[in-house]
Amino acid sequence: MRQKPWRKRKQFISTVVLISLCAAIYPSSASRVAGDRPYFTNKPASPIELLDKYPENKIIMPLDERIGTDSYNNISGKGVLLRAIPNLFSDIPYSSHIMVRNAKGTNDRYYYKCDSLTATECDGATEVSLDLTFEPCWSAQQTDCISRFAVQRENGEIQEATPLTPIFSSVKGENYTPLNFSGVKGSLKNNLPSGGEPYLWTFPKLEHRGGKLFMPLVKISDFSGLFRTIDANFKFSDLNFHLGVMPYSPTLEKTYTPQRIVQPSYNLLPDAFLTEDSFIVEFRSSVPWTSWVRSTVTDLEIKSGKSGSDFVYNASGKPAKVPMITQLIPWTATNMDSLRNIDMGGVTVGRQCDGNVKDKPFDCWVPVDVGSKASFDIYFSMFESIEKYTNKKSTFNPTKWIVEDVPSFKSLYGTWMLSAGAPGAKCIKDYNKNSPMGVTSSNATLATDGPPIWDAKTATLNYRMAALPLLADGSKFIGHYTLQIPVEVAKCFWGVDAPNAQATISVTNEDGKEQVITAVASSNSEYFRFNVRGFHFSSPTIKMKLLTTAANTLSPTPTNSTTPKKPVVKKIVCTKGKTVKTFLNTSKCPAGYKLKK
């Protein structure tokens, strides 16, 4: 017999109460010391057993956050597998290490882990990569650490989290082999930050679907050290930052997901956020964070500063549902010709099939991977070619809080031509501040990486994205977009009056029709920010323009001297708790906000 919805809810609430009682019995012992360089006290000596102290709220239905490998590698039938799984592997926690091969006196068939570039295992290596995880700040002197993890509830209340337990180090048991060192020793000479273990944290009252455990991540990776001899003068040259917030639950469930953390007698598995609260991750770093940043976070804002010789960064915003697709499209007589002609980047689906199953086209199984958040036109073309044959629904909709550098953006695309285009590249290629040069955030399945494309003819920044129009439950997928760029970059695009200009923002469908949206533009002494929300899919483009009195530095010279009149832009001020925002060209505040009179 099918269980009634109210009974499910009753079961859920009673389990949450159980979790709260258990958490009250086993409180976190850490506390936060405030000040210019805040830190936490009472560092745990070793990981604690979590299954009995923080029992999971049992699953009633499958979680999109626990996508197993069999789900995104569907080989159950013949046809074309449309696969788009953005950021699936981005929030994998790991223990900090330097990985090398071809070191002196070692077997060149194997990779070795070491905790510093002066370790014996690293000596003379010609292949080196780096994976670091920041620990909580345990002293005022410590760097390369998380100094704050907090949440601002929808009612404006702010809760501060405290670190509870590390993961990985000193954990011993069946099917688990701990590392023989506890982290990586930093060296500014080698452009090498310090690293340790990921930690689980708890809030005083906040819970997710499965319990109380959250993992804020600040990670740095670098894979630029191929075929370079590791010596005293070696420098890591392409550090990539990654931030994440993920709920975790200790469970006996055996689902294999990339984010799974194996413990001696149970698993730690990713879980689901319950609300759209805004999370805050603050960290100190011995090296600056300077690349272009992409994200899934709604209303993302990044602030930067310095404390002594440390760089301090603060990222805040709300997690968002990100549609993922693993949909098998069976062959039919009517779709075969069109599907076989889809260009997969130099090789068509038909050619791929013929190379695998000759003379039996209906027996072919071939995946069409449309990338994820990416700038390459081929991914958008592939998506648009195959979308008409889908059921218009995404397969999974996990909620994600991810902020990360566009992978290897500097080393692979040093001229900044990837998405900005040649005219726009000149505004950002020489950026040399100690903060991210720009941030683009969207909950779309596919989205432009890096800077939006500059269109000099219309003096607009254009940002492209794509997703199926419906979520897995059949509801309409509603998009959000945030652009944050330094004021000096905005001035380069639109002229010296950019910070005081009026913004016009539009969302255009693939058929050329404009959508009705909610848009906000604001600026301060450091950044110019655009926030757009309320648009739908499948393949819209956002266009951002500033109406200034100064001549645009990249726009063509006007053909006449007539100065166009500025349009009348209606503004309203809306409040939500302590949040105050200005909205343009609308007379109504969005859901959750009240009109300030």
HEC string of 325-382 equals EEEEECCCCCCHHHHHCCECCCCEHHHHHHHHCCCCHHHCEEEEECCCCCCCHHHHHH
Segment 163-188 shows an average pLDDT of 65
Distance CA 397, CA 476 (A): 12
Contacts of 375 (CB under 8 A, 6+ apart): 418, 419, 448, 449, 450
Region label for 470, one of left (φ > 0), alpha (ψ between -120 and 50) or beta (otherwise): beta
Which 3 state secondary structure label does DSSP give 589? coil
Residue 8 has pLDDT above 70, yes or no: no
Residue 416 has pLDDT above 80, yes or no: no
pLDDT at 570 (0 to 100) = 55
Each residue of 198-237: pLDDT tens digit? Answer: 999 999 999 999 999 999 999 999 887 777 778 778 888 8
User: In the chain, what are the domain boundaries?
Assistant: 1-61+90-140+162-275, 567-597
Each residue of 176-206: pLDDT tens digit? Answer: 334 445 689 999 999 999 999 999 999 999 9
Residue 335 has pLDDT above 60, yes or no: yes
- pLDDT band of residue 487 (cuts 50, 70, 90) is confident
Radius of gyration of the chain (CA): 25
Distance CA 223, CA 410 (A): 12
Sheet holding 325-329, edge to edge: 325-329, 79-84, 365-369
Segment 122-138 shows an average pLDDT of 90
Which 3 state secondary structure label does DSSP give 443? coil
Segment 376-380 shows an average pLDDT of 80
SS3 sequence of 277-306: CEEEEEEEECCCCCCEEEECCEEEEEEEEE
pLDDT at 351 (0 to 100) = 93
Residue 23 has pLDDT above 50, yes or no: no
Residue 533 has pLDDT above 70, yes or no: yes
- pLDDT band of residue 19 (cuts 50, 70, 90) is very low
Q: Tell which residue, 61, 577, 584, has the closest CA to residue 593.
A: 577
The phi and psi torsions of 291 (rounded to 5 degrees) equal -80, 180
Segment 419-431 shows an average pLDDT of 61
Residue 47 has pLDDT above 80, yes or no: yes
Point out the least confidently predicted range of 139-143, 144-148, 225-229, 323-327. 225-229
pLDDT at 413 (0 to 100) = 42
Q: What is the mean pLDDT of the chain?
A: 81
- Which tokens sit at 357? 């199953």
What is this structure's pTM? Answer: 0.83
Segment 88-93 shows an average pLDDT of 84
Distance CA 357, CA 352 (A): 9
Residue 108 has pLDDT above 80, yes or no: no
Which has the higher per-residue pLDDT, 24 or 502?
Answer: 502
Each residue of 436-484: pLDDT tens digit? Answer: 888 999 999 998 877 787 787 888 888 889 999 999 999 999 999 999 9
Which has the higher per-residue pLDDT, 547 or 81?
Answer: 81
Segment 406-424 shows an average pLDDT of 50
Residue 289 has pLDDT above 90, yes or no: yes
Contact 167, 50 (CB under 8 A): no
pLDDT at 361 (0 to 100) = 87
- Looking up tokens 């929030």 gives 91
Q: Tell which residue, 438, 594, 595, has the closest CA to residue 530.
A: 438
Residue 578 has pLDDT above 70, yes or no: no
Which has the higher per-residue pLDDT, 377 or 34?
Answer: 34
Contact 151, 280 (CB under 8 A): yes
